[in-house]
Amino acid sequence: MINRHNDPDREDIYGTPDLYLWATSKARQTVEYIRFVEVKRPREHIKAHQKEEIAFLKSELNLKARVLRLIEA
């Protein structure tokens, strides 16, 4: 993952999700799971490099990653 982000050809390409979340087990004091989350407004478009990054995290690194949309009241 570091090589991908440090690649000079990707200097102006971002897409890293907004949030890195994790949940811990109270009983074992260990991280149970992690998730990367891109946060968007209800009608906000997902940029191509953001879609690519989420796909990379999921397919290449087998990590949980997704887009969540806010509910505006």
pLDDT, tens digit (0-9, with 9 covering 90-100), for 15-34: 789 999 999 998 988 999 99
Q: What is the DSSP letter of 16?
A: -
pLDDT digits (tens, 9 = 90+) for 43-72: 999 999 999 999 999 999 999 999 999 998
CB 23 within 8 A of CB 33: yes
**Per-residue pLDDT at 41:** 95
